[in-house]
Structure 1
């Protein structure tokens, strides 16, 4: 395993705000990256397969349910590059592109969190829309959309037009994973699901039951493809994982989304803001 480059805890100015790097007192190799006080990433420099956040565990489960072997992966959103590290460790030989607009954040992760040790990884410091537009058709087996400004998902990355561009980048049978955060009523999550369902034939949702019922603000993971998803395995893995999540698909998903309208470029939609107590 790659050794730590002796990260220095503290506050660092980046392009889009201030990040804080905190050591995990229970794990000498564990580091938390926060943006303006909001937890963004957890990185274990000794074990890239260690996924600390619940929603990242769910994304890891979805990755594990894909066919075996190396993957060509496009990530929209970098943070501490937790999932690229996970893919590189669990799918040796994978080629990955990370689109992250904050070049100062990328440099911080390179300097402090051993990013250079991740094999076959390319970073493009540009916006999520521009970065995907520049990608070739049918160039990825997996696209992971996990982009937030603080705790808020940029609306321009939640529209039908953008989902169409992500579908263009995916190979036939490729998979899209989207991290969306929402709270009571899940109105935004329902609209995002309606948007994804307008582009992809097969869609499912993974979430912890309390979040799924709108009892607390949290993250939900959308899994989509134009080919059948491994639903049986997703259901078993989600229920048996540390997070013990539910998998919503088929008619249950249709009922969940009922009445929600897809999001289009220019629509007056605001992504939900978490209550202050969530990160207090």
Structure 2
């Protein structure tokens, strides 16, 4: 009984770890998604414990326990299909995000949690032969259950998700539970039932049907889609979970897919000739769009990319035309950890591109992080980063401006428009101890702007720096604090933007 309880608890936590990753390609990864997943799992546990107690008192035999385990295996197997069906139907629908997350979590993972949670009450009843040892029996099984939960959490988070992928983990869990159920109720020959035939069909489908991810890691479901730009050139679209992260044109590095990248290109052109030598540091790699651009346009420059997910780097090499002989240097670790170790030459330019949709790595937003970053930069270095916010709220934007001003003398805002406009927008912030030469900034025409054939009006709009009075008006209207390691409420600041967008 102890091992049965242990394995059931191990599988329960393994499924919970996997569930958030399974939903990510359709609804992303955020506090809202994990709240829905955890809440749904707990609900399944509540009802499962109650139902398990009733089953233990009314039946309490090996067939009932084995059937519960087998049904949990079937539910884990079915979760593969439910996620895909509901994800395709609801992933981009009009239903509010929270409602989508709850419905998808309930449909895919509530049954698994429910059936697995019926196991422990039944095991207690079957193991309890002496009422004087009730406490010892319940305590022992609870301890085994807790150990299973702990090991399932560690195994899922650190090993199995990256090794097998979410579909592989759910399939492996289902096979284990089905086999365990058949063994527990071995005298009942469960493998001869209609449910066994259904399980066989589902297992065959799970093996044959390909997963939705090109690569799956501990961080992302990575998908690479092939497309064409307006000129008919082949391009790649990098999707990390549900978000289109990068548009990559491997044959033409001057083709920058996002408008905010024109701000970065303008920053480069306003400071350096194409023959200049400088060091650029990237917080986040994505599709390596700007590092490729610098490698092509500024061959004497040094590119260093801190990309936490080795899978993203590998996807660039395998699927998006980034040569393994590239001069771009990659450190596959968290940027803050990499900066803390030091060792590189001072960075002349730093580009922040690690904020994935509304999933903000808060430790890269604080004043402590920015002080560390500045200590690794040259005295006249510039830090450029893009964030997402809505001017109607502007809480994250205001806090980031205040935080950057605590560290650098000058902070500029480039909204790729004539002003900071309402609506969900990508906004570039530039921070330095040296002022930007406005004449050089607006008179410069970057190679990327030339390649894009932007009109003068479009180019100036794309690189426009808003007037300082507009920034001050925003800060007067939105009273948010400097972000620190002790207080970083980025999820709350972005909640209304998140709600409107989804």
Q: How high is the TM-score relative to the length of structure 2?
A: 0.50
Residue 489 of structure 2 corresponds to 269
Count of residue correspondences: 270
The alignment yields a C-alpha RMSD, in angstroms, of: 2.6
Of the two, which has the highest radius of gyration? 2
The whole-number CA distance in structure 1 between the counterparts of 2:304 and 2:382 is: 15
- Give 5+ residue unaligned stretches, structure 1: 1-8
The whole-number CA distance in structure 2 between the counterparts of 1:174 and 1:245 is: 19
The whole-number CA distance in structure 1 between the counterparts of 2:236 and 2:419 is: 26
Give yes or no for contact 1:203–1:249 (8 Å, CA) kept in 2.
Answer: no
Return the offset for 1:45: 0.8
Give yes or no for contact 1:178–1:222 (8 Å, CA) kept in 2.
Answer: yes
Are residue 165 (structure 1) and residue 347 (structure 2) matched?
Answer: no
Return the offset for 1:142: 0.5
Q: Could you say if the C-alpha distance between residues 275 and 260 of structure 1 is closer, same or farther in structure 2, counting changes exceeding 3 Å?
A: closer
- Give 5+ residue unaligned stretches, structure 2: 1-211, 445-455
The whole-number CA distance in structure 2 between the counterparts of 1:121 and 1:191 is: 33
Return the offset for 1:17: 2.2
Give yes or no for contact 1:66–1:230 (8 Å, CA) kept in 2.
Answer: no
Q: Could you say if the C-alpha distance between residues 242 and 39 of structure 1 is closer, same or farther in structure 2, counting changes exceeding 3 Å?
A: farther
User: Which sits farther off after the overlay, 149-158 or 218-227?
Assistant: 149-158
Question: Which is richer in helix?
Answer: 2
Q: How does 1:1-280 map to 2 (within 5 A)?
A: 11-26=214-229, 27-68=232-273, 69-116=276-323, 119-136=326-343, 139-183=346-390, 184-209=392-417, 212-213=420-421, 215-235=422-442, 240-241=458-459, 244-258=462-476, 259-271=479-491, 272=494, 275=498
Q: Could you say if the C-alpha distance between residues 210 and 253 of structure 1 is closer, same or farther in structure 2, counting changes exceeding 3 Å?
A: closer
The whole-number CA distance in structure 2 between the counterparts of 1:257 and 1:89 is: 39
Q: How high is the TM-score relative to the length of structure 1?
A: 0.86
Q: Could you say if the C-alpha distance between residues 166 and 84 of structure 1 is closer, same or farther in structure 2, counting changes exceeding 3 Å?
A: same
Give yes or no for contact 1:235–1:247 (8 Å, CA) kept in 2.
Answer: no
The whole-number CA distance in structure 1 between the counterparts of 2:468 and 2:316 is: 40
Return the offset for 1:62: 2.0
